[in-house]
Structure 1
Amino acid sequence: MDHSDDGLRQYLDGRVFDGHLESRLKREIPGGEPVIDPDSGSIHIENLPLSRICLEYALRITGLYRRGQRNARRLCVREHDLPVPGLTEAMRGYRLLHVSDPHLDVDPGFAEGLADQLSGLQWDACVITGDFRYRTNGNAEPALTGLETVRSALDGPVYAVLGNHDSIRMVPRVEALGIRVLLNEGLVLGPASNTGVWLAGVDDPHYYRQHDIVRALRARPDRMPAILLAHSPEAYRDAAAAGVSAMLCGHTHGGQIRLPGGFALTTNADCPRALASGAWEWQGMTGYTSVGAGASVLDVRYNCPPEVVLHTLTPN
């Protein structure tokens, strides 16, 4: 496989719109995401090199660091009924395993532990809503190796979208594992093309902002309900306006570090807090924002356990 950018252009020929690939490659900064976004002007304090060091030091001197690491390994498997307006009876009970933000290279044993916990779960299709990698830059090989371990535990079709931690250069390797990456694309899920669900997936709407929901829906059969995969809930307005029935996303980690009582110190997303974790609804569109299976910045969690979600599709 040609791993050069020219090879990537050839691999993705016909799948990405004009300018998509070049814009994304341009924003894949070698040093990682900037503290101040050059386009929006928004400030990302978590990208300050000293922020992680200071937070880790504070947690260590208070004796909370090891507890946070243990919390981050206590994965919950949540059951959730996902209402999908327009769902046919043929798709009632269809189950989607939703994995988000695994950050697989957080430590050498994490991917194997996640694979063990996913093994044996019953589902019809698995969807991964981005952030395979722990850092926003650097060598992706450890994350891809971890993904191979996780994929071996997933006995069925797997679909994914890219997150703000993921390089588009990872796509050929991810798809070589039998995981279809949806780059503003879609396909039919279900037993028959006229009774199924359109599964659409868009590129990261948080940092790269190369999501194109209209393009992802353009081949959808008339009146077929659509489930949208997006890394972040920040695409919620565009999704509802485009006629999406349900949206699955992640990115926020539910705050990852919450105060007692569940208040998140930050969600790192430009959306209402009600959309930052769990089930929600917006203008007739249902949604679910996973708090994620992994951790970033630091491999700790407090009052916000990691999760994977088994969504059972139901008519609205």
Structure 2
Amino acid sequence: MNRLIELVGEMQYDVCVLTGDYRGRTFGPFQLALDGVARLGAHLKQPIYAVLGNHDTIQMVPGLEAIGIRVLLNECETIVRKDERIFLAGIDDAHFFRVDNIEKAALSIPRGEFSILLSHTPEVYRQAAHANFDLMLSGHTHGGQICLPGSIPIKLEAVLPRRMGAGPWQYGYMTGYTSVGAGSSVVPVRLNCPPEVTLHHLRRA
């Protein structure tokens, strides 16, 4: 966490998004995880948007929002700059809890407007493309975490094509990016799959 704080402190960006899994376990106490996110949040620039992952509980939402993180639970926010706008939607966990509702999240987005979907898992890429999202940002896979040389994942823990397990990908007219994340899962080890914090630049086509 200390290294992550060092990295993000100097970054320049307009919006920060977090795609879930703020704690290691999928059950039990979560205050230590919230304390860690609060330490990180003190070094992040506003606005900060987030979705929950399969390791998170809905009970964490008040704590996350108390430290300035807007959690999107099948909701959409509009980011406005002068006379231009981007619609940013986020869905609840679709992998474990299966409480995602893309249709509800996209309901307020006018057709033809640029839209981004935050989803902890990229497994819902088909539904996201069908809902006309332009960009989908996800995590969950850890890129496999333990990979063969060339960052080839042995196992992804997600039902989707391997090409969507890490980095940029395309599905129809929708662009996607699956972050390998900044941490680890189950064991504190990464092999041929270094952690990342991703800085995306959006430019008019």
Normalized against structure 1, the TM-score is what? 0.63
| SS across alignment from 1:150 | helix
2:176 — aligned with what? 287
| SS across alignment from 1:210 | coil
| SS across alignment from 1:235 | helix
CA distance in 2, matches of 1:222, 1:286: 17
| SS across alignment from 2:200 | strand
1:186 — aligned with what? 76
| CA deviations over 1:56-92 (Å, ceiling 9, x no partner) | xxxxxxxxxxxxxxxxxxxxxxxxxxxxxxxxxxxxx
Is the aligned partner of 1:313 residue 2:191? no
2:158 — aligned with what? 269
1:251 — aligned with what? 140
Runs (4+) of structure 1 exceeding 6 A deviation are none
Contact 2:129 2:172 in 1 (8 A): yes
| SS across alignment from 1:148 | helix
Is the aligned partner of 1:171 residue 2:61? yes
Normalized against structure 2, the TM-score is what? 0.97
Q: Percent of aligned positions with the same letter in both sequences?
A: 49
CA distance in 1, matches of 2:159, 2:204: 29
RMSD: 1.0
Contact 2:93 2:120 in 1 (8 A): yes
Is the aligned partner of 1:206 residue 2:95? yes
Gaps of 5+ in 1: 1-110
CA distance in 2, matches of 1:260, 1:113: 25
Which residue identity does 1:239 align to in structure 2?
A: A
Q: 2:38 aligns with which of 148, 152, 176?
A: 148
Gaps of 5+ in 2: none
Contact 1:158 1:179 in 2 (8 A): yes
CA distance in 2, matches of 1:210, 1:301: 30
CA distance in 1, matches of 2:71, 2:150: 37
Flag the structure with higher helix content: 1
Match runs of 1:219-230 below 5 Å = 219-230=108-119
| CA deviations over 1:187-232 (Å, ceiling 9, x no partner) | 111314x521100000011111111111001112342111000000
CA distance in 2, matches of 1:185, 1:121: 27
Which residue identity does 1:284 align to in structure 2?
A: Y
Q: Which has the higher contact order (CA 8 A, sep 6+)?
A: 1
| SS across alignment from 1:187 | strand
| SS across alignment from 2:202 | strand
